[in-house]
Structure 1
């Protein structure tokens, strides 16, 4: 397991890509660049908005919360669909279980929702590393909207560099990600 050090928290205040307030606009921009690659959503509200816009993520990572509070019943019902895989990931960490579940979900033949016991806030980093090039990873930026990351070599390098600053067994997380 990797733990986010206190001094690195500031690196997560600024979005890692463009911020969208409309899922349809985000999906239109992503479609113009994608080449039959996965869409990964990190967060219950993000997943909900993408589904409502007509595009279910290939992989969704949810924890039943938004801003540390339980999501409403409508959102919970909308996002807990399809193949559900439960995975443990403590707040402020990236667990090996989460990494393994992301890798498996991206290799699956059907859309998969990872239901995190704990917190999914940092799942964006391993999601970018696990996803194929040209994929799209979307996560929520509190009180701003949805952030879209196009998976490029540069994005993978940025996420890898951040993860290597975490505390814990870096190789245990990076090796399954081929990072």
Structure 2
């Protein structure tokens, strides 16, 4: 892909690259890993990069003294605006922004996630829209042993320690989404 092609892809970055089919919604309600309610206890099990998806999850890690290597926030929790303290804390340093529609993954979101994963310094992505599905490509793209943590409403934080098996499961799940899966993988896997 040339720089010109890259720019063209970014110009329509809010397009719905992949859309969650209704038939898959029930499968995503099951947690993909153990649920923890204590951020400090969860952090004891983290050995490698930490990727946090969700404002409340990110807030708990910051309060526990550990900035996630990648945090994805949208200033909302359970479809409601987060408390001002949480919003201010998690958006204090947001060097990247992306637009992502509900129940979908946009090209811009995938490109921004890839950029954040490739950075050396902790990076927060502020999503205009919804970040709920970003845990899926994060698991698919994260290195072996990385921790992807996302919120399970009214239950706690789901901790996925990434393995080849998890990545294969995410690949199979994402392949069942509607849309341009070939372009999705091209964007997610470019280095």
The TM-score normalised by the length of structure 2 is: 0.88
Distance (whole Å) between structure 1 residues aligned to residue 24 and residue 105 of structure 2: 14
Partner of 1:94: 105
Partner of 2:19: 3
Partner of 1:110: 121
Query: What count of residue pairs does the alignment treat as equivalent?
Result: 174
Question: CA offset at residue 174 of structure 1?
Answer: 1.2
- Pairing 1:140–2:140 present: no
- Pairing 1:71–2:87 present: no
Q: Secondary structure at the match of 1:123?
A: helix
How is 1:1-179 mapped onto 2 (pairs within 5 angstroms)? 1-30=17-46, 34=47, 37-178=48-189
Q: Secondary structure at the match of 1:143?
A: coil
Q: Is the 8 A contact 1:82 1:111 kept in 2?
A: no
Q: Secondary structure at the match of 1:148?
A: strand
Moved over 3 A (4+): none
Distance (whole Å) between structure 2 residues aligned to residue 166 and residue 132 of structure 1: 23
Distance (whole Å) between structure 1 residues aligned to residue 185 and residue 104 of structure 2: 14
Q: Deviations over 1:99-126 (max 9, x none)?
A: 1111111111221111001100000011
Q: Secondary structure at the match of 1:55?
A: coil
Q: Deviations over 1:60-96 (max 9, x none)?
A: 0000000000001000011012242110100000111
Q: Which runs of 5+ in 2 are unaligned?
A: 1-16
Partner of 2:7: none
The TM-score normalised by the length of structure 1 is: 0.94
Distance (whole Å) between structure 1 residues aligned to residue 35 and residue 109 of structure 2: 25
Bigger-Rg structure (1/2):
2
Q: Is the 8 A contact 1:38 1:106 kept in 2?
A: no
Q: Is the 8 A contact 2:99 2:108 kept in 1?
A: yes
Q: Which runs of 5+ in 1 are unaligned?
A: none
Distance (whole Å) between structure 1 residues aligned to residue 129 and residue 163 of structure 2: 29
